[in-house]
Amino acid sequence: MKQQNTSPQKNKPKNYLGSTLLFIGVFSSVTVAGLLILLLRPFNFTIRYKISALWCQLVLWMSKFFCGLSYEVEGLEHIGKNQAAIVLSNHQSAWETLALRHILPPQVVLLKRSLVWFPVWGWALGTLKSIAIDRENRRAAMRILLEKGTAYLNEGLWVIVFPEGTRTAPGEIRKFSIGGAMLAQKSGFPVIPVAHNAGNFWPRYSFLKYPGTIKVKIGPAIESKGRKAAEINAEVENWIAQAIKEM
């Protein structure tokens, strides 16, 4: 199915109203959730994680209620409950960073270090075992990803990586960085590819959100044992590109 593009004709008053209400709802709720997570820092990680996952679920509900934006997921049968995995996903908006926390098992995410410096929600994000890296120092970033990523995988947590490194426009796919695939090679854990078209409805750098149905496609596990990172990366990149074309 061809991807639907957001057109200027969709910039109707109800889109501005819905997007404004969503912004207010997200800003106020993330402040409350962030403070609660920070207060519970001395307690078990599972408690803090559940609060973050519930907040993500709330944002998805508000997106549907205020903006008419829903989603559908294909390939949930590929999510194994008994083994952690590394998820490599395309990156088009902020939507998938929230939705994957709701859709997939308990997880940690690779992100740029500056995000955890933001007051309240950034600090709270830092308590959720996020793998924060300095992208300017690639050698140190890779070491942190491999060390922390392997440790978290062995704990049973999934690791989410957006190998494009930044949000891209719909229809555009940047060359994948090797970090997530290298983690797979070194740790031996499988890779789950994920593709979506969130950018058509929740555009990057845009205040407006548009009604519709975001499609998320989860692919079968890609084994990493005995394989090189470049080979794993190429297979994931090709799968995601093909999945996006079919949306």
Tens place of pLDDT per residue across the chain (247 aa): 334 444 443 678 899 999 999 999 999 999 999 999 999 999 999 999 999 999 999 999 999 999 999 999 999 999 987 899 999 999 999 999 999 999 999 999 999 999 999 999 999 999 999 999 998 899 999 999 999 999 999 999 999 999 998 899 887 878 999 999 999 999 999 999 999 999 999 999 899 999 999 999 999 999 999 999 999 999 999 999 999 999 8
pLDDT for 10 equals 62
pLDDT for 81 equals 78
CA angle 219, 78, 232 (to 5 degrees): 45
Q: Which CATH number fits domain 10-245: 3.40.1130, 3.30.870, 1.10.3470, 3.30.70?
A: 3.40.1130
Q: Where are the domains of the chain?
A: 10-245
Q: What is the pTM of this model?
A: 0.91
